Structure 1
């Protein structure tokens, strides 16, 4: 049955149930995946605990891939990974994308039929095993999510497919901002500098000491991400420090150089609402590790998430044996993520394109394409 139900209302009920699940389980990060109409792909629909760009490497997960959420749906079972070591052993590709100490569970969201998967993550400080009560809570939450999805499908035909996942907040931050003069004075008296970042990595507070050490006025920092407003922090190494703190929920420290020669120790202290930052001038000589290379190039540096996507693909390719393995990998795990319907792989041989593998094309089309000159305008997209 289809109807004219309000998708916004359906999203609100689903988001509330999802947020309540994350809050009740004490997870630091949560994600809800929905099956695509072709049943070949899991698409991230709702997220909490990290920015959208952090989830890019695992926003679209082919159902055939060896990943916790894919296994949970494909095998209709709860998948528990209690440590980073277990992640490396059981899911090496996922460990490449999430190289941080953590524990996670992936559970199928199934009603009358499979709907998707729920992914929850905790810091590595939690116990390495799940209790029966935790399993029961997660299973009942998944049933509730499945019921909401099926009710929405009955009213509207099918859940709306979004280009970007929705980000929800588990609970409103009840702590007041630093508006009390006594509190502000306390922070200002601390040596070095103090900052606060929200879950998106944006400055929400900067002390005068931090402004002095960072060499930038408060007004130019507030509302920006450090790697946007401070060019010398625009390096994947520093961004990954923030990423590690946010995902692992453990303190992270690194040393950065503010040009020309000011070395700073930067300490990140994360929790569910954001990250507190302490900045202290390095007292000793410059550390032995080299500073990020300074360059006059104008190209935008690769973001940390883009590098993780590349390493994830590289990890997958290390498992292939022959040409057909490469074709199968791309067809089963990369094509669905981009919505591609056909694939042709060719090599250059004596001035011609020789097809080494394909998927989604008729045999007569492949015969017409095989052996074309390198300078041909005749392509698989325009046969």
Structure 2
């Protein structure tokens, strides 16, 4: 199915990447990790372990929504990208309608990020409280709703955030019982995810969210069928009534796959979640859910679990399936109403249509059955209409607006939300908003700029609303942009399409001059004369900044008349010059260009001015980031060794690569220290995190290790002393480390390790093995930790490789696979010189544009004698 944004409808997701195996339309029984249900609920049957991660998440969301009295909920789960959360499951709302909120970085000013970052729950009882604490949330979702956000943690593991949306309670905080129930559910989910992780499931979500239908409250029965589902064996025994409803002639028993194959994925996940919940409840539990049948109609499923832990029947789920016909046949009473009425469930699927709707839309009921609203009525995919639908699904207040299906009369649309969905009333307008009867063309306009604006769709109510809607998307995208280049790219992708622009230029202020930072769409070299222009120049890009007022020119003729002698390009279109001012501080100016003349409505001028403020704030933040990044890089360059000691019997080579995400600098380091007794100390370490703080902590640890080593301390004392120092400093970080002291004459070595990857050893025959070093916990965690020492020998011609996990770790593979790749690569270097060997080992990482972590590598080769080295 196609969603309102043109992509695949998230309710039919068939793959969720590294979060686990790709779910089919009917997840079936499979042995594997995650067989145990949430702690406190008893073990779940083995037959319920299929696609365990999404099912566990769906179950938890259903429980949380019920516990908090909500109408929707979801789970944000950590992804393979550090600091990035992804929406994994969304219940009670169509996920495709909420695409801008699928990704959430932990540094963003939103309650989901705050709960994950701080580890503390966030409760927002109404829109006023949300506006006070999280204004960007209200700016992006300006509807009255309450929300609860509970971090999902287990020990030191931060898995994500559990979210519930519900009706607001103005002036009343979320009460203690609701907070307690949500907290208990988050703890239960944390235990379940911990069990999955222990069983080998990667508890991450890098893909699109799974939609889950919530149980419904009502539905008149037409036909009914019954079944028994043995949860231990996965077999289903169905009566004739159920077989007739599902169109299945084959007698039962069936496998559970035969039952779920007739369901769409969002219903399948809900059914599995209910089954897990019922099976783990320890007593009878009844649930009701609406399922989409093979004929497209909706059926009401009621399931009851009666676990018999030691009985001959095992765990049995009994159920009844109520056929609601197509779910769309209105009664005589509604068909006689002079209004077109249809209804959707909370996932946006059409559940009801009366006769007047068929007549108005020219579509029979059977073509609308079970379809998403924006698929059946494509004009509902318009951003303005999406916004109205989001408002109805998030609030309990009716919404009214005008819409134009693309032909015929305008429609007055009313949305009436309820617990289980939204009822829509469509009324044709006798005259359109301009007072013209249906079918009459536009009144001719003398102003060509207005005609161009109308052609862009910006003079219609929908077009103006779309332009007003765009700040939401731009604000969300700007909050994720880090560098000035990323900010400029976001403006290009979001701002230009919204207003039909073709050219964009961004100038940044530095020492009272404007310098071109970004351009697109202008003729090559056209903007060069304006690069570096001073603030005393009489050009619109300067005067919009110095005056603080945006300048709009509906044609190049207007621009040329206002600024005689100003070089103009070949385009005849309009221009908008926007001042970029953040909190009263000038940042630069932005130029928008259009291919044709056009007018700027009052709404558009207001929106563009507001957007310029957002852009300025993002650019100012990016400039601070660039300054801090330069400081961090300089700090790191100063702290890493510029050359390593030269020793007669041992050659050492080090390499460092920064990550390509975040600050681009981290806490990885290496060092080679020549002690007073003629031995060499080989050190490699990795401080958690990135940026100035990580680099500063790295410098402190490197200095501490060097001081302990030069003081003649034994390896275990060096690592233990460094651990205590890091705890005393308390920078809120921890680090791993590997410390090896080597005697160049004998090749004897003593090594201590603190949570760091094991080194590799390449022998003279080319074989390469991992060195098994005893180890202790990472530095900075336990002040009483001990670090045992392992003795080893480095023979003549052998190479020892120390490395950080950035060289071997990839988001989509196990770290052991990365170590094995490095081992094979080291073995394949043969007799190559040590610097060439180091370059070959990091070649693939150096060429990659996506390095989540920084990389350090230290190689040590013992040659023994000059003859052997030659």
TM-score, reference length from structure 2? 0.35
TM-aligned CA deviation for residue 201 of structure 1: 2.5
Cα separation, partners in 2 of 1:13 and 1:295, compared to 1, 3 Å:
same
For 2:313, the equivalent position in structure 1 comes to none
Cα separation, partners in 2 of 1:325 and 1:172, compared to 1, 3 Å:
same
User: Which of 75, 83, 92 does residue 40 from structure 1 map onto?
Assistant: 83
User: Which of 178, 203, 216 does residue 159 from structure 1 map onto?
Assistant: 203
Describe the superposition over 1:121-172 as per-residue Cα deviations: whole angstroms up to 9, x where unpaired.
Answer: 1123576311111111111111111111101111125325351222223324
Contact 1:57 1:97 in 2 (8 A): no
Tell me whether 1:16 sits opposite 2:314 in the alignment: no
For 1:376, the equivalent position in structure 2 comes to none
Tell me whether 1:250 sits opposite 2:397 in the alignment: yes
TM-aligned CA deviation for residue 178 of structure 1: 6.7
Q: Which moved more, 1:224-233 or 1:81-90?
A: 224-233
Contact 1:83 1:103 in 2 (8 A): yes
For 2:489, the equivalent position in structure 1 comes to none
Cα separation, partners in 2 of 1:325 and 1:95, compared to 1, 3 Å:
farther
Cα separation, partners in 2 of 1:76 and 1:229, compared to 1, 3 Å:
closer
Contact 1:32 1:47 in 2 (8 A): yes
For 1:210, the equivalent position in structure 2 comes to 357
> Equivalents in 1 of 2:191, 2:468: separation in Å?
37
User: Which of 197, 205, 213 does residue 169 from structure 1 map onto?
Assistant: 213
> Equivalents in 2 of 1:329, 1:116: separation in Å?
29
Tell me whether 1:124 sits opposite 2:168 in the alignment: yes
> Equivalents in 2 of 1:16, 1:38: separation in Å?
25
For 2:180, the equivalent position in structure 1 comes to 136
Contact 1:57 1:308 in 2 (8 A): no
TM-aligned CA deviation for residue 35 of structure 1: 2.4
Structure 1's unaligned 5+ residue stretches are 331-340, 345-357, 362-378
Cα separation, partners in 2 of 1:11 and 1:322, compared to 1, 3 Å:
closer
CA RMSD between the two structures:
3.9
User: Which of 323, 334, 340 does residue 193 from structure 1 map onto?
Assistant: 340
TM-aligned CA deviation for residue 359 of structure 1: 3.6
TM-aligned CA deviation for residue 212 of structure 1: 1.9
Contact 2:58 2:89 in 1 (8 A): yes
Tell me whether 1:270 sits opposite 2:270 in the alignment: no
> Equivalents in 2 of 1:228, 1:179: separation in Å?
18
Tell me whether 1:96 sits opposite 2:139 in the alignment: yes
Contact 1:103 1:124 in 2 (8 A): yes
> Equivalents in 2 of 1:223, 1:121: separation in Å?
25
Structure 2 matches for 1:360-375, cutoff 5 A? none
> Equivalents in 1 of 2:399, 2:429: separation in Å?
16
Tell me whether 1:319 sits opposite 2:617 in the alignment: yes
Q: Which moved more, 1:249-258 or 1:143-152?
A: 249-258
> Equivalents in 1 of 2:367, 2:217: separation in Å?
25
For 1:51, the equivalent position in structure 2 comes to 94
The size of the alignment, in residue pairs, is 335
> Equivalents in 2 of 1:252, 1:359: separation in Å?
47
**SS of the residue 1:319 aligns to:** helix
Cα separation, partners in 2 of 1:324 and 1:246, compared to 1, 3 Å:
same
TM-aligned CA deviation for residue 305 of structure 1: 9.7
Structure 2's unaligned 5+ residue stretches are 1-30, 34-48, 221-323, 437-441, 443-452, 458-462, 480-613, 630-658, 667-846, 851-870
User: Which of 129, 145, 149 does residue 106 from structure 1 map onto?
Assistant: 149
Cα separation, partners in 2 of 1:30 and 1:185, compared to 1, 3 Å:
same
Contact 2:213 2:347 in 1 (8 A): no
Q: Which moved more, 1:139-148 or 1:77-86?
A: 77-86
Tell me whether 1:310 sits opposite 2:474 in the alignment: yes
User: Which of 97, 108, 115 does residue 159 from structure 2 map onto?
Assistant: 115
TM-aligned CA deviation for residue 249 of structure 1: 3.3
Contact 2:72 2:165 in 1 (8 A): yes
> Equivalents in 2 of 1:327, 1:142: separation in Å?
38
Contact 2:411 2:426 in 1 (8 A): yes
Cα separation, partners in 2 of 1:197 and 1:208, compared to 1, 3 Å:
same
Tell me whether 1:75 sits opposite 2:118 in the alignment: yes
**SS of the residue 2:202 aligns to:** coil
**SS of the residue 2:346 aligns to:** coil
Contact 2:330 2:353 in 1 (8 A): no
User: Which of 25, 30, 40 does residue 73 from structure 2 map onto?
Assistant: 30
Contact 1:7 1:156 in 2 (8 A): no
> Equivalents in 2 of 1:185, 1:326: separation in Å?
65
Cα separation, partners in 2 of 1:305 and 1:217, compared to 1, 3 Å:
farther
Contact 2:92 2:347 in 1 (8 A): no
Bigger-Rg structure (1/2) = 2
> Equivalents in 2 of 1:236, 1:329: separation in Å?
38
TM-score, reference length from structure 1? 0.73
> Equivalents in 1 of 2:379, 2:119: separation in Å?
47
Tell me whether 1:64 sits opposite 2:363 in the alignment: no
Q: Which moved more, 1:82-91 or 1:218-227?
A: 218-227
> Equivalents in 1 of 2:621, 2:397: separation in Å?
41
Cα separation, partners in 2 of 1:249 and 1:51, compared to 1, 3 Å:
same
